[in-house]
Amino acid sequence: MKVIGLNGSPRKQGNTGYLVRYALEQLENKGIETEYIDLIDYNLGQCTGCYKCVEAKKCVIQDDFLEIFDKMVEADGILLGSPSYHSSMTPMLKAVLDRAGFSGRWYVNDMKSKEDSYEWKGNAFSGKLVAPITVARRAGQNFTFAQILLWATANDCIVPGSTYWNIGVAGKGGAMDACDDAEGKSILNHLADNFEFLLKKINQ
């Protein structure tokens, strides 16, 4: 069993990264393999809508995306972390999810003609556990959280819940103080419990 955490913040040591790492640590304590990834370390462009992934069965843009995509496909669970920028996820994470969702659909499906309807066979992320972790100084977390949930539910993923939304309140005055958000961390503790429970059920 393996869970990866993607940090969509451009600040590697910021509040989002802290909370994603914190959640992964709770999973490691349960014996689950984890990997933490700062997206800022990769060269990642946006989806160009070229549709070449329909035939190629993968994204054809020449950058670091396929390395991230392969890690997402191989994982049993994915934590998707983003700060809230004007009540939205960061462009970096959005680019990854747009390309992963689009090319991942054609990973196992063929495009139909305009006259035909689809009976989807699933996609590259079918059955994977996916959960958002979003952070803001004051407000906006829920909109960003919802964006990530919409991606997960449109990509045939399983979304574990917790005792509340997986949101952090941190960063007043630019501070990196997510470590002080005791309630936020307790929510992630229970999220890790639910990840462990579901992963064990799925892998029985």
Neighbours of 119 (CB within 10 A): 7
Q: At 84, list the tokens.
A: 């809230």
Residue 32's pLDDT is: 97
Neighbours of 145 (CB within 10 A): 21
Instruction: For 32-75, write each residue's pLDDT tens digit.
Output: 999 999 999 999 999 999 999 999 999 999 999 999 999 999 99
Residue 62's pLDDT is: 96
Residue 116's pLDDT is: 81
Q: What is the mean pLDDT of residues 94-102?
A: 97
CATH number of 2-202: 3.40.50.360
pTM, two decimals, is 0.96
pLDDT band for position 156 (50/70/90)? Answer: very high
Q: At 37, list the tokens.
A: 């990834």
84 backbone dihedrals φ, ψ, rounded to 5°: -95, 115
Nearest to 100 by CA among 77, 76, 72, 79: 72
Residue 118's pLDDT is: 81
- Chain Cα centroid distance, residue 120: 22
Coil, strand or helix at 128: coil
All structural domains of the chain with their residue ranges = 2-202
Q: What is the mean pLDDT of residues 190-197?
A: 98
Rounded percentage of the chain residues whose pLDDT exceeds 70 = 100
What DSSP line would sit under 78-111, residue for residue?
EEEEEE-SSSS--HHHHHHHHHHHHHHHHTT--P
